[in-house]
Structure 1
Amino acid sequence: MASVTTATRRKDSVQPKAKVWLYLLLLTLQYGAQPLVSKRFVRREVIVTSLVLACEVAKVLCALILLAVEGSLKRQYDQWTLIGSLTASGLPAAIYALQNSLLQISYKNLDSLTFSILNQTKLFFTALFMYLILRQKQSAKQVGALALLIIAAILLSVGESSGRGSSGGSADQVLLYGIVPVMIASVLSGLASSLCQWASQVKKHTSYLMTVEMSLFGSMCLLASTSQSPDGEAIRKYGFFHGWTMWTLIPVISNAVGGILVGLVTAYAGGVRKGFVIVSALLVTALLQFLFDGKPPSLYCLAALPLVVTSIFVYQKYPYVHRKKKD
């Protein structure tokens, strides 16, 4: 009897570990491939707002399906209130909506690896807002890691501004429509992540419910902004799916799956393993860009990549420890 119980426990422990490794692998592939997929399958004439709205709708559908599969959809619906939803998800949703629009602009004006590396500066801004909002302190090694990250971002900014003038886009275009949007998006990502963690701790929202609420609120913010925006005028003139092909659905679905996977990895694997996913995803991006575009990384990317990898590894490996716990 004892041996049967032990075998059952081992089997139960193996299955969650297998799921965790599957989530980690899928998120690594999705995170690393998303810039390349968007650049390859989204035509330049596609209206950014229509693409972002489609991604948000896809996230809602995925999250609702998963809530139904796990059997908690009715319970979440019964407990849901508008005030609680606005408090937990309203502001982060508006921030993420703006961030997604900026990322879509940046996708079209930066090469995939440069975009992925610059996008990692969101860790610095996340740490900053975590301290300002939640008073989470950083260790000395973490501060050093964040400094390395900023140096890498400066290297890439200088390299992209000076080295892309003859490769299909002027230096001003790369700076204004590539580097600046992704850096602003990183700031917004840090702020929204901190607000989401605050909401999770206070409101006890599940990741699926947060996905549904934030996607719906973000979509409403985008729809409201289209009344006066150039994208709104373009949608009214050319139609919502202007420039779309069947292939455009690939980055839309990939983005939605990635949003779900981030919540699963955070829940089952924790922030440390998620950091390793980010590092691995950078390598996936570089490999895919070389395989499909035949484009080796630039010298600036090669110089910045080890700085980014080192900074993310050190930041995840050496968290702040309270003095009492040390003693």
Structure 2
Amino acid sequence: MHYSRNGPTGSSGPRYLASTAVLLVEVIKLLASLTLAAHDMRRTHPTAPLFEIAGKLHRSVFAADSWKLVVPAALYTFQNSLIYVAISNLDAITFQVSYQLKILTTVLFSILLLGRKISSRQWVALVLLTSGVALVQIAGPVASSDAGAGGAWNWDWDWKERLTSLLSTGTSSGFKGLMAVLAASLTSGLTCVFFEKLVKDSLASVSLWTRNVQLSFFSLFPALFIGVLWQDGAAISRDGFFAGYNSIVWLTIALQALGGLVVAVCIAYADNVAKNFAASFSIVVSYAASAVIFRTPLMLHSTGGAAIVLLAIYLFNSRPTPRTALLPTSKEKPTTVGTNTKPLSFR
């Protein structure tokens, strides 16, 4: 995504509009979810004719409670727009590190909306996870100019200058990107947990893919009317809807859509905290794979960050002793499927 927004366009034309990409992601997710929902309907009614399957699918998608998906749909669209704003105004490292705040916001909203209980050990694991991911993604050191082949490294992370440029003025692009990524982190936590609550409360009666169809359908309206028509309508009228599109842009859109479908499965059968741990672990895997495949040198701080991530995953999954205090407590029952009240774990 960062390369598609900041890399060479390959022509003298304008860069593609983020609002059109957000809309296309939702269209692809809608079509894919419709196909999977129809497949589920066919499996449960193998002898029903096609028009009856279509009627059942239509009634399930536009059921009386479908309006509940309006809120997460609007929030998802807003979040995607914020991510494009952030990645367009920040370098990839700053964006990735800052966006890890969604791990903590997801846990906080899980406590508030789902009544989950997090043990003291798990709180430590969450802080370690956020710190470890940030360490892995921080730009590596550069060799000193006078160092030979076996010379020492000059650990120049340049974070003082980076923060100064981000916070120096409210009109700078860096500050705009920072505010966008912070808002996206907050919106991500709220939206994911709210959608998880809706899915798990009705999973016994409404299929996951029907919920995903509803979410994508309602997401089309803010993406189309607010993003495409209101925000970028003039530019689209002048340059066209697909101005600036190339293979990298289409690949980015496809990955966004596929990621949304995978996240829906993870939320339904695990939870959002498990999703964030999996995403964090994938960063460690990518770091190790780049060292093997592309011969990228292993940096001390990145290797330490990877070890911290693995430690955080172990601590979060390990069962606390019965005397471990739970912070904070909640009187609400967790909205998990077929499980009793216990500290949150994705094992």
Is the structural similarity TM-score above 0.5? yes
* Counterpart residue identity of residue 185, structure 1: A
Q: Distance in 2 between matches of 1:98 and 1:296?
A: 38
1:103 matched residue in structure 2? 83
Greater gyration radius:
2
Residue aligned with 1:108, SS: helix
1:69 matched residue in structure 2? 39
Q: What is the Cα deviation at residue 126 of structure 1? A: 1.2
2:18 corresponds to which of 38, 44, 48:
48
Q: 1:244 to 1:130 in 2, by over 3 A?
A: same
1:231 matched residue in structure 2? 232
Q: What is the Cα deviation at residue 86 of structure 1? A: 1.2
Q: 1:150 to 1:278 in 2, by over 3 A?
A: closer
Give yes or no for the alignment of 1:194 onto 2:193. yes
Q: Distance in 2 between matches of 1:41 and 1:66?
A: 37
* Counterpart residue identity of residue 191, structure 1: L
Percent identity, please.
26
2:113 corresponds to which of 118, 121, 133:
133
Q: Residue deviations 1:151-186, cap 9 Å, x none?
A: 5688889x6753559xxxx64657424443222211
Q: Distance in 2 between matches of 1:298 and 1:81?
A: 53
Q: Residue deviations 1:88-114, cap 9 Å, x none?
A: x11011111011111122333445455
* Counterpart residue identity of residue 85, structure 1: S
Cα pair 1:92 1:196 within 8 Å, conserved: yes
Q: Distance in 1 between matches of 2:235 and 2:278?
A: 38
Q: What is the Cα deviation at residue 55 of structure 1? A: 0.9
Q: Distance in 2 between matches of 1:215 and 1:311?
A: 34
More helix by share: 1
Cα pair 2:2 2:88 within 8 Å, conserved: no
Q: Distance in 1 between matches of 2:240 and 2:285?
A: 35
Written as runs of structure 1 = structure 2, the 5 A alignment for 1:11-160 is 45-72=15-42, 74=54, 75-81=56-62, 83-87=64-68, 89-112=69-92, 114-149=94-129
Cα pair 2:4 2:248 within 8 Å, conserved: no
1:260 matched residue in structure 2? 261
2:218 matched residue in structure 1? 217
Q: What is the Cα deviation at residue 81 of structure 1? A: 3.0
* Counterpart residue identity of residue 198, structure 1: K
Q: What is the Cα deviation at residue 252 of structure 1? A: 0.9
Q: 1:153 to 1:253 in 2, by over 3 A?
A: closer
How many residues are paired up? 288
* Counterpart residue identity of residue 196, structure 2: Q
Q: 1:254 to 1:35 in 2, by over 3 A?
A: same
* Counterpart residue identity of residue 148, structure 1: L
Q: 1:319 to 1:221 in 2, by over 3 A?
A: farther
Q: Distance in 1 between matches of 2:108 and 2:100?
A: 14
Q: Distance in 1 between matches of 2:161 and 2:289?
A: 22
Cα pair 1:116 1:285 within 8 Å, conserved: no
Q: Residue deviations 1:24-78, cap 9 Å, x none?
A: xxxxxxxxxx666776698882211111111111111111122233345643323
Q: What is the Cα deviation at residue 128 of structure 1? A: 0.7
Using the size of structure 2 for normalisation, the TM-score is 0.66
Deviates more, 1:233-242 or 1:265-274: 265-274
Q: Which residues of structure 2 form unaligned runs of 5+?
A: 43-52, 139-156, 327-339, 343-347
1:24 matched residue in structure 2? none
Using the size of structure 1 for normalisation, the TM-score is 0.69
